[in-house]
Every structure is written in structure tokens, then in C-alpha cells.
Amino acid sequence: MNTKEQKLEAFGRLLDIMDDLREKCPWDRKQTLQTLRHLTLEETYELSDAILKEDLQEIKKEMGDVLLHLVFYAKIGSEKGAFDIADAINSLNEKLIFRHPHIYGDVEVKDEEEVKKNWEKLKLKEGNKSILAGVPKGLPSLVKAYRIQDKVKGVGFDFANELDAWKKVEEELDEMKAETAPGKKEEELGDVLFSLINYARISGMNPDTALEKTNAKFISRFQKMEQLAAERNLNLAELSLDEMDRLWDEVKKSNG
């Protein structure tokens, strides 16, 4: 592994390259905070995919791409006279020190949960008017629900155990089944999903990770089903649902 000096040298080289690109490359010169935003989201999801696969070499590559975007934002910030990369890092350093009084102060904590509770209380001291103020509006709904639940847990608003959380799932399912009005049924479905996410969280599972793994599994199986149909000169779109189900079961039995 690289020494601290080598890491700092590599980061300094990146800053120099960013300066060159911003000055000399037509594409890089043209970029703004807004034009980079959607690209940053794309790079973040690519990093997320690599993490789910636990592909360390791909994680390294995608981390670099995300880091480039962060340095790019800092460069634009410096051009506007608002902030530079050092300002961003120093702000982060001060925040981390303030939010870890059990490391940099005289506060004692007994476990991870106490750390998280203190964290939320300290954020309110920083000026946040609500525990939920830090939940980004643009988060995907499933991730947002998880973060909402995790944050209110920090002040003790949570089910006592996973059994109680599952009872809530069953209660919401019964309410959805009993509802007949379309608009209200959609609302009840939202309650079911929210309670399922809560159950997963309390049970130590990340529902976003679980769903993404299921998405990947479904894609893999469906593509193998398409391949199997092609090998047998079958047109998938012309098969009945029963015929497709038989192909699907065949793929599943072959550990697809």
C-alpha cells in the first residue's frame, strides 16, 4: 500500500490535472455545476454496482471517477470565489471532530447505537431544525424511507424488536387488502412498503441491497430463458405464459 506521502502526492497530481483540463480542454471548460450533476449521479450508481458485486478493482476505478467529480466541483467553486477543495476538506474535518466527542472530547459511549443518537443530537445543535432535515429530497424512495427510519431511530422513535415491526407489516397488509378505493389503495400500498423497509432495517437487512440483488437475479434468469428459447428456435413473445413458466423453472433448476 502507498505511504501517506504518496497518497498526498497522487492527490496533488489530480488537482494539477484538473487545473490543466479546466484551462485547455473544450469539454471540461464548458462544464458547470448543473451539467455535471446528472453525470455525478451516474458515476455514483456505477460505484454502487461495483460495491454490490464486491469487485475491488471496479470499486477502485469507480471511486476515482466519483473523486474526479468532487475535485471538479471544488475547482468550479474556486473559480466563483466561493470555496476550494481545502475549504471543503477543512469543513469536513471540523464536522467530524465535532460529531465525535467520544473520540475528540470527554464523552463516553457504550456502543454504536449511542454514537448514532449523539450524532443526531449534535446535528440539531449545528442548526438543523428537524432530525429529518438532512434527508435529501432527491433520494430514491426506497433509500429515502430507510434513511428516514434510521434517523428517527436516533431519538428512540422505533419498534422495540423485529417481531413488533413484522406485526405492523401484517396490519398494513390487511388494511391494503380491505381498501377498495384506487387512490386510497395506493396510499395503503405505500404504507405496506414503508413497513416492510422498516422490518428489513430492524432485522439487519438493507432493503435496497436486497431488491437490487433480486433485480440482478431476475435479469440473469430472464436472459438465460431468452437464450434457452433461442437455442430451441422458439420465439419468446409467441409462447404462452405456461410455456414461459416452464422455461423459467428449467433455468431456476439449473441454478440460473
Cα dihedral value 139, 143, 145, 149, nearest 10: -120
Contact 18, 71 (CB under 8 A): yes
Q: Distance of alpha carbon 237 from its chain centroid, rounded?
A: 35
Specify the pLDDT at position 131.
Answer: 82
Residues 197, 169: Cα–Cα separation, whole Å: 9
Q: Which residues, in sequence order, are CB contacts of 121 under 8 Å at separation 6+?
A: 154, 155
Specify the pLDDT at position 185.
Answer: 93
Specify the pLDDT at position 197.
Answer: 97
Q: Per residue in 156-169, pLDDT tens?
A: 899 999 999 999 99
Specify the pLDDT at position 129.
Answer: 75
Identify the residue whose cell numbers are 416492510.
Answer: 196
Specify the pLDDT at position 217.
Answer: 93
Specify the pLDDT at position 149.
Answer: 95
Specify the pLDDT at position 256.
Answer: 61
Specify the pLDDT at position 66.
Answer: 97
Cell of 166: 413484522
- CA dihedral sign of residues 73, 79, 81, 84: positive
Specify the pLDDT at position 116.
Answer: 75
Residue type at 128 in one-letter notation: N
pTM score above 0.75: no
Specify the pLDDT at position 122.
Answer: 74
Q: Distance of alpha carbon 59 from its chain centroid, rounded?
A: 15
pLDDT under 70 in the chain at which residues?
127, 256
